[in-house]
Chains A and B, each alone.
Chain A
Amino acid sequence: MSGPSDPSGSPLTLELRDVAKSFGAVAALRSGTLEVRPGSIHALVGENGAGKSTLVKVIAGVHQRDAGEFRLKGEEVDFGSTSESKAAGVAVIYQEPTLFPDLSVAENIFMGRQPLGPARRIDRKRMYDGSAALFDRLGVHIDPRRPARGLSIADQQIIEIAKAISLDAALLVMDEPTAALSGVEVDRLFAVARSLRDEGRALVFISHRFEEVFALCDEVTVMRDGEYVSTDPIVDTTVDEIVARMVGREVTDLFPKTPAPVGDVVLDVEGLNRTGVFHDVSFQVRAGEIVALAGLVGAGRSEIARAVFGVDAYDAGSVRMLGRAVRPGRPRAGIEAGMAFVPEDRRQQGLVVDGTIARNVAAVIRGRLDRLGFLTTRAENRAAGPWAARLEVKTNALDMPATTMSGGNQQKVVLAKWLATEPKLLIIDEPTRGIDVGTKSEVHRLLSDLAGQGLAIVMISSELPEVLGMADRVLVVHEGRITAELDREEATAEAVMRAATGSSGITPMVGNPASASTEEVKA
């Protein structure tokens, strides 16, 4: 690893060393290190949850680091807000769009620094012309006058890029700028990125597409589990080496699923489609089986799960439980058909955090507990007790509010709530997100036990070891489609990662992406 300054003597544009950031008990970033030379494009790669986006937000001043060093052009900096980082010459394209939908495209680009005419009035003509010039440079045609509302994700992304370029920044950080772009647009973005590099600016490029990383970047830094792994010149490394470093983690801290007898088909999803979200999704889940939906954040996994359960509507296709069609768009129908759904965001969607544990556990079966329309606390406690005990919810009393518990115990309460409905199918989205390592394995053991008792489980997870350790079968979702179906034996970290990033690796992908990926994995 190079020293604090470049051998040529010019200071590094960006230097982060052992930067840490925790949110509550969860360490999103343990020791992030990143050194970017002026006039270079630096790739930052890692799995979901490796801490890349947290690192970006520290650079941008959205988050303040807990520990570590942060230098810009050789000077120690401490950004309290995004306006400070912007003033210091940092432009950031965030993963999530940061547009103002009601305002015009041009205003989105120039907000807060609109060109001014006499008496400090905004000169709209110059603003529109400036936007048009930026779009020309990017080779796209977007009307600067139209509102940002309703723009496709790709167009939104292009506006973010135009915004960042127009800032004339010394450091430009792009967090997955190409995720929604077409090939031509990617090429143009790269041309612009190279010209910015040649002007002596430093760029950080985050992408899951290795072809892009290798085509564009000069150096690559790998992160894993919130920690720095390695930095290499791009010419000295290969995709295989990088993938190995990204996933090279011991799987031993996870409880592997014990094999359970596989029974009849419980869930049968056929040709599910929702315009603009997911396309032609078909799969089956059998009793006793854990099927993982793997893929990158934003690939459409949660959306598929929500549609299957009935939270969201879908345009075409069918969902059948135990051979019977489930009425779409109604969670109540899903519950009556024997589905249970543990959403990704426990605090927002899964729990009444201020309610007692008993009330939370009894929430779904409330209809069965009432007497003449009244629900007594005693009935709730009676119903909740056995489940809380079975799942070993660690708490003093059932009348404690759920908000006082740890993430792991909250997850157990949500699970208990659904298990009390005696479901045939459990859909669980990110079962261990935000849960400390110790409790993680408890949740894994629990899921394994439930499958052993004949429950069919659909598990959405962004953590590869969890997918590989728990799943009997892995369905990989990429941009709204299932691009690979892998058995336990076939599912290696590399195979899942390749299908999830849509990268073909060795064989160029032709025809049906799903069959191509599967063949490649089998080969």
Chain B
Amino acid sequence: MSMTLGSDPAPDAIEVHPSELSPTQRLLATVLRSRELAVGLVLLLLIVVTASKSSSFVFGSDGWRSLLVNPSILILLAVGQTVVIVTRNVDLSVGSTLGLTAYLTGRLFIDTGLPAPVVVLAAVGLGAALGLVNGVLVAFGKVPALVITLGTLYVYRGIFLTWAGSDRVTASDIPDGFLDLGTAQLLSIPVLTIIALVVLAVVGYHLHTARSGRELYAIGSDPGAATLYGLNVTRRVLLAFVLSGALAGLAGAFYVARYGTVSSNAGLNIELQAVGAAVIGGVAIFGGSGTVWGAAIGATLLVTINSALPVLGIQDFWQRAVVGALILAAIVLDRVLSTRQERRLAVARELEPGHGSPPGTPAPPTSSPRSDHGTAS
């Protein structure tokens, strides 16, 4: 094992994984190992089992529509949440943002009669502004996002309650055209679902293929290294929060279109579901890895569980417990996999020849050119 200079097959040493796989094989391997596939299969299994119990869960015209449209709000929030979590932050204020923007949507319809697209834009704009507040506080205040957004969760909810007072928006306040959006379908796919999927696709594509998207992952993977590397951490984190807020604003508009009414508890606790969806979908809570695709599948799974378990005759308490168990299982799974990988790599490193001081052998320390560059005397 000890290394002699000039011995020919150079101990290249590095654990080599040359790209001997064809691109198709590599893609297949990536897909097979992905969390997205695993969670997707769980979702599929859930749907199949539930449908076998009650076929209208999928095949009834209402069942099909609910199955597709119900997750759309949570998908929007989970996408925004993923972008924030990837940077090693978290946004707990999105539930309150949703409530506030939903109420704004209703109020604009009641008070102004602005056309629906303008109202939706206003909701997105308010959401983005609230996200900007979070982003500024986190990026410049150097306080953990968990604390900042926990604070703004209450502040935004408080603003909502103060503004709304005892008012509530009801379906009769909302133009029929907008409410129709909640039930409209295109090729038997609900329009809200299509919009959510378009948002998902755009954000997912951007995160994967744009420099700025990859920088978000770099920042979350090691913020210190990102700063040393010269990435603009402050700006990227700020924009991630703005996006999360804007998507929560869009979700607020969706909420009005879907449910028609906005009461003071609109969006209450939904931020935790968004975080849970991301975690179940394989987004690492310490940042740096995970995809919006996974988070969206996670969101769909969470929403579908809520409607499937009653069909399966499982009690309310157990429904919550199942969601909790899923989140715990996802986290435990991540932890087990990563420790196992770390241990394997540590052992592999020890066994590599020519690196560092190999254990157990009295090999000389690594610097080898010593003999031919004798220095002193």
Contact = CB atoms under 8 A, between A and B. Distances in A.
Interface of A: 60-62, 81-86, 94, 97-103, 107, 111-114, 116, 120-122, 128, 139-146, 149-150, 152-155, 158, 178, 180-187, 190, 209-212, 214-215, 238-240, 273, 275-276, 279, 478-481, 483, 502-506, 508-513
A122 B211 contact: yes
B350 A275 contact: yes
B376 interface: yes
Interface in B213-255: 214-215, 217-218, 220-222, 224-232
Interface of B: 3, 5, 10-19, 26, 209-211, 214-215, 217-218, 220-222, 224-232, 284, 288-289, 341-342, 345-347, 349-350, 352, 354-357, 359-360, 362, 364-377
Contact of B367 (A62, A144, A154, A211): A211
Contacts of A97: 225
A150 B364 contact: no
B228 A182 contact: no
Contacts of A146: 17
B3 A183 contact: yes
B18 A100 contact: no
Given A82-B227, A98-B229, A121-B209, A504 B370 contact: yes
Contacts, number: 205
A511 B369 contact: no
B359 A122 contact: no
A325 B88 CA distance: 43
B221 A513 contact: no
Contacts of B371: 508
18 contacts: A83-B232, A94-B228, A98-B222, A100-B221, A111-B214, A112-B230, A113-B211, A152-B14, A152-B355, A181-B366, A182-B356, A211-B367, A239-B376, A479-B356, A479-B366, A483-B365, A509-B370, A512-B362
B209 A111 contact: no
B17 A276 contact: no
B373 to A, nearest CB: 4
A245 B364 CA distance: 27
A183 B229 CA distance: 28
Given A112-B230, A182-B3, A506 B376 contact: yes
Contacts of A84: 230
A100 B218 contact: yes
Contacts of B15: 152, 155
Nearest to A279: B359
Contacts of A506: 376-377
B368 A186 contact: yes
Contact of A112 (B229, B367, B376): B229
Contact of B373 (A178, A180, A211): A211
Nearest to B342: A150
Contact of A141 (B12, B366, B370): B12
A187 B369 contact: yes
Contacts of A502: 364-367
Contacts of B3: 182-184
